[in-house]
Amino acid sequence: MNIYDFNVKNIKGEEVSLADYKGKVVLIVNTASKCGFTPQYEGLEALYKKYKDRGFIILGFPSNQFLAQEPGSAEEVQSFCKLNFGVTFPLFAKTDVRGKSAAPLFTYLSDAAPFQGFETDKEMGKLIQQVVSEHYPENVEGNGIKWNFTKFLVSRDGNTVTRFEPTVTPEELEPAVKAAL
């Protein structure tokens, strides 16, 4: 099994096969418009523009599972991303990314790239660990996604998955993207 075995709904509600991205390096990100990490959209868009012609794609999956930080409709999410950050990479339907209601793709990704811990050497890493522990103590254990802007980098063959926690910025992620290309 790899990511090409999954179908998802795009922001317009249309079914999309991830097999459409075969041969590309894929970065899958769970996003939210009202999160402290939302400014990462800018860096993600810059990364996408820089490498899209070399076979790189970013897939953004809005999720409202963490402090209701993605409350808007699909149209509102798309408009927010375009107007505020110029997002041109594909966005998908609002998706549950953890727990019993998690989309199968995110269960697969979380299992394929287990949680390695928060970056507690960074201030935001300490903060996110505190927020998760306080508001979602059940999220601390296991490999499930802990917060918005968790990123999964998938190799061109769809098999190798590397996980980056929310505190890893798109700029810090760039060397891994370049190496995968």
Residue 147 corresponds to which tokens in the numbers above? Answer: 């917060």
Buried b (16+ CB within 10 A) or exposed e, 96-110: bbbeeebbebbbbbb
Catalytic choice (11, 18, 35, 132)? 35
Q: Which residues contact 79 (CB under 8 A, 6 or more apart)?
A: none
Residue 135 corresponds to which tokens in the numbers above? Answer: 């508001």
Q: Are 131 and 167 in contact (CB under 8 A)?
A: no
Residue 68 corresponds to which tokens in the numbers above? Answer: 């209701």
What are the helix (H) ranges across 26-136?
40-51, 74-85, 104-112, 123-135
Examine the residue annotation and report whether 81 is marked as an active-site residue of this protein: no
Q: Which residues contact 33 (CB under 8 A, 6 or more apart)?
A: 62, 69, 70, 72, 76, 77, 80, 81
Residues identified as active-site: 35
